């Protein structure tokens, strides 16, 4: 009571002071809301925002790309504005608008916006994925990292990887003969092994290797978090002031911004892997990074980011694409007849497909795999214009979030009638095809200067993997042992993360012929012999660096 009396004597509980505070706070709130409505009036259409929180709390709990697709239809606009707190996000739900803005105006939309969760509280500006490119100095660092990445997985460089990529894929076919029920593990091992050989000169021979079990788990966790949301931690993007609280009193920051536990004289996990690889006899990308590092003044965190991006982006996405292919083969067997005919005619059963085979239907088949259920379903991290821009008279402010909705783009009835049907004929220049911007016919790998650096490696490997999978196996329904009935699959049962994949489903793999079975076994054993020089171990595990 004495303390309250002291406060009363000092005037802190004086009613006039409280009224002044409320008036100032209320005026600031009104002014801020007027500012939001003013900008909303100039920007593409979208739902009406609330003060401070914007439209955040109207987000669905999962898979918001469906919601943005529907909003685009409701507002009859290929581009809409959705407010995450006080920050407007421009969602591009149309292929032609995406091409006009993110490709043809790539110089404007080359930067990233301010991102708390995956930049300021994570990798910061050391990583190419999050890097701002507003100032000349920022653009120079971006150019350096992009150049070094292209030297590792650019269109010319990836052709040098075809031999071991082909061998690793032959091993997958052999694994499917032995333990077909573990097909997800086989795909993950294959995809991780290819990028590990490229990045670190070491293949991954077992699905239990920590590089798979730990790193892919982290990729899945990151993909689940990196989606616009109304729950923590993504709610920090709505209320950025909460990021100012120290970690010990901010449970909403749990799991973010870990610095890891560096071993003596070294940095983090990916830097340590790269440093170890630099000492290997086998040629690898890490050697290039260490060789070029002094010339470009690379910080250790940049070395870590360059090596980590290669592994993180290549392992999860490639394996998820192959799982989607299996789902399509099971759900749409009618799409396989033309593939079997082409493969039997061109390849036969005494050998498996390779890069030299002329397989136009299979190339269309792979394009449809990329289109039907693209892994990076919202095109990766958002873009941000480095200056104010206009589209059809609407303002797109400098620094705003601009996100391509790959789901909506690839499921637009105008370009892809009956879009949930898996139909490779869309890409055969026949009656089922429709005009689409660009040469590829899909937008799976993003746009402009922020497109996926590893897309050529992914396209090269996916073509060979899918062609060999279709050549080698029938994917038949799994049978319920209790009822004797076929186990159905659900083509919409996908995970909820930024990089999604089908949730577990059962199928039966059967070699198409006995000759093909023998070929798979023979080629697989020979591939293991050819891959022997890449065998090796690492002394590092992700879990020892991060707690």
Binding residues for heme: 452
Helix (H, G, I), strand (E, B) or coil at 293: helix
CA distance 114 to 136: 17
CA distance 530 to 521: 14
Helix (H, G, I), strand (E, B) or coil at 339: helix
DSSP string, 485-533: PBPP--TT-B--SSB--BPP--EEEEESSHHHHHHHHHHHHHHHHHHGG
Q: Maximum Cα–Cα distance for the chain, whole Å?
A: 96
Q: Which residues are annotated as a binding site?
A: 452
* Cβ-contact 382, 404 below 8 angstroms: no
CA distance 144 to 314: 21
Task: Tell me how far the alpha carbon of residue 63 is from its chain's centroid.
Answer: 14
Q: DSSP letter at 99?
A: I
> Tokens for 488?
């159905």
Considering just the CA atoms, what is the radius of gyration of the chain in Å? 26
Pairs from 387-394 (Cβ < 8 Å, separation ≥ 24): 387/108, 389/101, 389/105, 389/108, 389/109, 391/44, 391/79, 391/97, 391/100, 391/101, 392/79, 394/42, 394/43, 394/44, 394/79
């Amino acid at each position: 009571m004495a303390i309250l009396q002291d406060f009363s004597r000092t005037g802190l509980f004086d009613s006039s002071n409280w009224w002044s505070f409320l008036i100032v706070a209320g005026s600031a709130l009104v002014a801020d809301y007027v500012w939001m409505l003013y900008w909303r009036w100039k920007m593409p259409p979208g739902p009406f925002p609330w003060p401070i929180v914007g439209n955040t709390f109207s987000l669905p709990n999962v898979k918001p790309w469906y919601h943005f697709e529907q909003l685009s239809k409701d507002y009859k606009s290929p581009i809409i504005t959705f407010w995450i707190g006080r920050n407007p996000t421009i969602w591009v739900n149309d292929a032609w608008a995406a091409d006009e803005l993110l490709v043809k105006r790539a110089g404007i939309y080359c930067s990233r916006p301010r991102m708390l969760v995956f930049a300021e509280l994570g990798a910061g500006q050391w990583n190419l994925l999050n890097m701002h490119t507003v100032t000349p100095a920022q653009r120079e660092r971006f150019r350096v990292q992009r150049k070094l990445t292209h030297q590792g997985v650019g269109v010319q460089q990836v052709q040098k990887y075809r031999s071991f990529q082909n061998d690793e894929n032959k091993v997958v076919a052999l694994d499917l003969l032995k333990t077909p029920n573990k097909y997800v593990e086989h795909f993950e091992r294959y995809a991780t092994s290819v990028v590990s050989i490229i990045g670190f000169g070491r293949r991954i021979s077992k699905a239990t290797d920590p590089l798979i079990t730990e790193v892919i788990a982290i990729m899945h966790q990151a993909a689940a978090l990196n989606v616009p949301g109304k729950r923590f931690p993504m709610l920090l993007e709505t209320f950025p002031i909460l990021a100012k609280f120290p970690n010990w009193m901010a449970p909403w920051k749990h799991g973010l911004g870990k610095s890891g536990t560096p071993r003596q004289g070294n940095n983090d996990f990916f830097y340590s892997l790269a440093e170890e690889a630099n000492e290997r006899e086998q040629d690898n990308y890490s050697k290039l990074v260490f060789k070029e590092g002094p010339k470009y003044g690379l910080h250790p965190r940049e070395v870590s980011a360059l090596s980590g991006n290669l592994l993180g982006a290549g392992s999860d996405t490639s394996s998820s694409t192959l799982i989607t292919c299996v789902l399509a083969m099971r759900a749409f067997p009618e799409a396989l007849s033309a593939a079997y005919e082409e493969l039997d005619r061109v390849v036969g059963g005494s050998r498996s497909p390779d890069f030299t085979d002329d397989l136009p239907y299979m190339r269309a088949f792979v394009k449809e795999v990329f289109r039907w259920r693209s892994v990076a379903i919202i095109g990766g991290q958002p873009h941000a214009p480095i200056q104010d821009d206009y589209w059809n008279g609407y303002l797109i402010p400098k620094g705003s979030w601009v996100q391509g909705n790959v789901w909506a783009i690839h499921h637009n009835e105008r370009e892809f009638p009956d879009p949930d049907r898996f139909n490779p004929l869309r890409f055969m220049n026949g009656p089922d095809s429709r005009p689409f911007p660009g040469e590829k016919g899909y937008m799976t790998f993003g746009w402009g200067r922020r497109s996926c650096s590893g897309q050529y490696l992914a396209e090269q490997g996916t073509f060979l993997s899918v062609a060999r999978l279709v050549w080698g196996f029938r994917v038949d329904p799994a049978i319920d042992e209790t009822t004797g009935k076929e186990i159905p699959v659900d083509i919409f049962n996908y995970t909820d993360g930024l990089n999604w994949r089908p949730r577990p489903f059962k199928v039966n793999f059967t070699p198409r012929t006995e000759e093909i079975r023998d070929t798979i076994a023979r080629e697989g054993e020979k591939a293991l012999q050819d891959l022997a020089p890449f065998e090796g171990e690492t002394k590092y595990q992700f879990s020892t660096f991060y707690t």
